[in-house]
Amino acid sequence: MNLTNKTAIVTGGGSGIGKAISVLFAQNGAEVIILDMDEKGGNETKNEIEKTGGRVMFHKLDISNHTLTLAYLNTLTQIDILVNNAGIAHIGSLENCSEADFDKIYQVNVKGVYNCLSASLPKMKAQKSGVILNMASIASSIGIPDRFAYSMSKGAVVGMTLSVARDYVEHGIRCNCISPGRVHTPFVDNFIAKNYAGEEAEMFEKLSKSQPIGRMGLPEEIAKLALFLCSDDAAFITGVDYAIDGGFINLKM
């Protein structure tokens, strides 16, 4: 699963799953370009990669801004891999989702993916090669309570994945997506601390056991699947949504 001489863009690479993907890709030879609004996190990931001799750049970018996203990505001479990982969450049913909430989720989770695709696909077409990996969620496949806007956005990600895979397969471009279950990231810790003060340990255990395998996933485990799908070892795979969820979808009772 060697990515030597590959240039890989990872959105949301400043923390969590995006950070794990950025570090692992760099360890396997890729030049990684991290795009994130979190300047502190982005630079921390960059520094971690540089300490081990990896090739990396960080650029602070709001991927929901079409003009800025195209302007920056058009400065790059080569894009071999695009990982659309950046995303935000929202908790609430339709009745608890305001128009502002809905628009915010859409702008980042849907339009952000569209913007990065719009800027990257022409370069991949010209190269006659490229790999795109989008981050979806199990919320795109099954009903999860109080995830109306988030489920909408991740369902759109799966739809865009299949469409791009179909339209660009003849140009040598592959496109897949990953649908993680609950993964132990800073978001989970912050969510528990904010909503269950004094009950952090109990809630963490409850959320962990919601996966049949009995624990949350690790960002590094998601990164390993991403590395495989973006490598030439997966050259025969396109148009697939991979659940990596500790059995949540198929084994849930």
Question: In angstroms, rounded to a whole number, what is the distance separating the alpha carbons of residues 40 and 44?
Answer: 6
Helix, strand, or coil here: 241? Answer: strand
Burial class (CB in 10 A: 0-12, 13-18, 19+), 136: buried
Q: How many residues does the chain have?
A: 253
How far CA 246 is from CA of 1, 22, 249, in Å, comes to 23, 23, 8
DSSP run (H or E) holding 177: strand 173-180
Concerning whether 150 is annotated as a catalytic residue, the answer is yes
* Vertex 128: Cα angle to 126 and 131 (nearest 5): 110
Q: Which of 72, 106, 114, 150 is catalytic?
A: 150
Question: In angstroms, rounded to a whole number, what is the distance separating the alpha carbons of residues 247 and 111?
Answer: 30
Question: In angstroms, rounded to a whole number, what is the distance separating the alpha carbons of residues 93 and 68?
Answer: 32
Catalytic positions are 150
